[in-house]
Amino acid sequence: MQKRMWIISNRLPVHISKRQGEFIYTKSAGGLATGLSSFYKTHASQWIGWSGYLTESSADKERIAAALEKESAFPVFLSRREIENYYEGFSNKTIWPLFHYFLEQVIYDKRYWETYRRVNQRFCDRILKVAKPDEHIWIHDYHLMLLPAMLREKNPQLKIGFFLHIPFPSFEVFRTLPWRSELMQGMLGADLIGFHTHDYARHFLSAASRLLGLEHVLMRLTYEDRIVKVDSFPMGIDFAKFEQAPEKPATEREISRIQYRLGGQKLILSIDRLDYSKGILQRLEAFHLFLQQHPEYREKVTLLLLVVPSRSRVESYRQLKLKVDSIVGRINGEHATIGWTPIWYLYRSAPFHTLSAMYHLADVALITPFRDGMNLVAKEFVASKTNRRGVLILSEMAGAAAELGEALLINPFNIDEIAAALAKALEMAGEEQSRRLQEMQSKIKRYDVTRWAQDFVDGLQQVSEQNAGLRSNLMTSEDEKKIVDRFRRSKNPTLFLDYDGTLVPFARTPAQARPPQGLLDLLCRLGAQTRLVLISGRRKQDLDEWFADLPLELSAEHGAWIKRKGEDWTTIEPLTGEWKSDILPILEATVARTPGSFVEDKDYSLVWHYRKADVGLGQIRARELTNELLYMTANLNLQVMEGDKIIEIKNAGINKGRSALFFLAQAVETDFILAAGDDYTDEFLFKVLPPAATTIKVGFRMTEARYNVKSHQQVRQLLEKMSL
């Protein structure tokens, strides 16, 4: 049976009005509602969002809720003050300008933030009343960035996806936000976080790394007790709808009407919502420059400027409207002739058949936003060109530019470049226009809005199943009781324990990881009643200094050195460190280029540490160094291993698994084995132990171990119970 999908957005896909005491409900046009309409109908979906209707009447709210729930829509009611602070305030005066790189427009107001958080909690409470624990929750956009974590806290079993429809800015911009960590943690409550482009996803991962210290592996973050997948899903359109529209009678009539008005002139089309991020003023100035540079096109081209009203209550938007009006008037006043107006300026929305006619007729689509999450207008224009004639001029700052490389891509801040692109577009041969459009249409048709939505839902299901598997491996209190009971009943138990990250937290430098007295006492008690092997990547000198007086056995440098009770250090096989003279200069050169990093020289291995380095630089240098070392050691008996903020080079074939087998072979047959470790090197240990062994992975990564635990504290707690 198909699980229900709950779509959560700021607004429901319906417009509510009241006439003569009766509520009237009409479908919303454009935006998310249109994009998800086909998916919404076929996937047992329910929708939760603000009703869009302001009322304090309980009776009105009940009537609206009852009517909407019949259409699988569940309203959230907000007050006028909440709309002012949450929607018009924090969402559109803080997040919107910041994420579009308009820092001069950003307002940091604590009242906005507190209301934003309170409204997100209102959405959370509404969802929890109607959604079941095993259902999918798909949260949309910047209005609800705190919601995933709020839901996760209340119901950890939910399958939560979050999609951001606007750009995610670079870390240097995002870090200016006072509530940056809270927003990051809010989004990380989701199992899957989606963006339109890889660049936006990359910026998010960079912020997660720099703010929260999270590193990703193949776009997957380990956060708390879950895997969070981050990926790009370029939103598509209903391709068939736009492709078929020019053949509809209403569209055909509109095409004829506009053609008659044009009188043979070429049409340049510009469609945008009124917003400072769209670059409308610069676009007009570029058209003005084009007319000045190419007087031969006067009375031969018309710019149809359709500006859809937006946020008219916000002062900055009212000022932008006045500037657009002024520039349009100036250009028309300077260039117009009797019978020719250079710019047709429409400040209103247009019905679908009119838009389709404009798309189909336009010789050029001029789309030049300064920043845009995707920009579906570009895709709608391309899909509507069934005659394969027309040129798309597109800002390289729009998300759609990553897909539509056959467009004329321009820098929206370069007016000269836009003017030159207009001339090139109007002069482009028909064959080239057709080729470019055909290639773009093929991409858009293949990855339409249904495919986009299905890919996201499939990705959410996949990572949710992975997290369910991790949760099934989580060590419970009942598991602890069984382990302790088996340990106490055993006659010859053996424990293999890693040190850093397993018994103590990671330190910024190796010297800072000295064991506390409480841990030494614990190991002493355990070592007195069982065979205890500390199997670490540390140097034998460190282990000797810290643990030589305790009743335990030691393995250093991931198994290169071993030390049994009462014996000296020895190696499993003859080893050499002569190779280090070739590798050490490479590591030292990397240290010189990476402030905060350093090299640890062990007897039979070298380790490059970058925990203290800048996060972004450390990751880049780690990739560079790994690639160089793999190339250098391809024909040598060496192994390059990546650990937690380290890269280690050591003799191949020497690992913790081999060391453990050596200890097991040298003793009376054991009837209980427990092994605990936190990183990649411990996987060698887990793999070689018999199936009956109790193996524990610290942290939430895919592992050969039987159990996962959250931190070294949980390992210590288990060992404390075993030592009693």
Report which DSSP code applies to 610: -
Q: How far apart are CA 141 and CA 208, in angstroms?
A: 18
Q: Which one is catalytic: 191, 498, 500, 682? A: 498
Q: Token pair for residue 368?
A: 């030049």
C-alpha–C-alpha distance, residues 493 and 670, integer Å: 6
Strand partners, 271: 306
Contact of 155 with 194, CB cutoff 8 Å? no
Pairing of strands 493-497, 531-535: parallel
What is the full DSSP assignment across 310-365?
Answer: --TTSHHHHHHHHHHHHHHHHHHHHH-BTTB-SEEEEES---HHHHHHHHHH-SEE
In DSSP terms, 307 is beta-bridged to: 272, 347
**616-639 exposure pattern, b = at least 16 Cβ within 10 A, e = fewer:** eebbebbeebeeebeebbeeeebb
Structure tokens at 399: 């998300």
- The amino acid at residue 542 is D
The rounded distance, in Å, linking the Cα atoms of 407 and 412 is 14
Strands 226-232 and 220-223 come out as: antiparallel
Residue 66 one-letter amino acid: A
Distances (CA, A) of 363 to 132, 279, 303, 630: 51, 21, 10, 53
Q: In what order do the strands lie in the sheet with 5-11?
A: 73-76, 45-50, 5-11, 136-140, 159-163, 192-195, 226-232, 220-223, 216-217
Q: How would you classify the pairing of strands 638-643 and 45-50? A: unpaired
By the 8 A CB rule, do 215 and 203 touch? no
- Give yes or no for a contact between 171 and 39, defined as CB atoms under 8 angstroms apart: no
Is the alpha carbon torsion for 612, 617, 623, 626 positive or negative? negative
The residue behind tokens 């939910």 is 158
Which residues lie across from 500 on neighbouring strands? 504
699: Cβ contacts below 8 Å, ≥ 6 apart = 222, 501, 678, 708, 710, 711
User: Which tokens hold the place of 345?
Assistant: 């300026």
**CA 124 to CA 128: how far, in whole Å?**
6
Q: Residues in the chain, how many?
A: 724
Q: Quote helix, strand, coil % in the chain, to nearest 5.
A: 50, 20, 30
Report which of 519, 521, 530 is spatially closest to residue 552, judged by C-alpha positions: 530
Phi, psi of 234 (to 5 degrees): -70, 115
CA distance 335 to 342: 7
Q: How far is CA 147 from CA 5, 183, 241, 513, 541, in A?
A: 16, 10, 33, 38, 50
Determine whether 498 is an active site residue: yes
321 contacts: CB under 8 Å, gap ≥ 6: 274, 312, 347
Q: What six digits make up the tokens of 572?
A: 């499993």
Sort 110 into a burial class: Cβ within 10 Å, 0-12 / 13-18 / 19+.
exposed
The catalytic residues are: 498
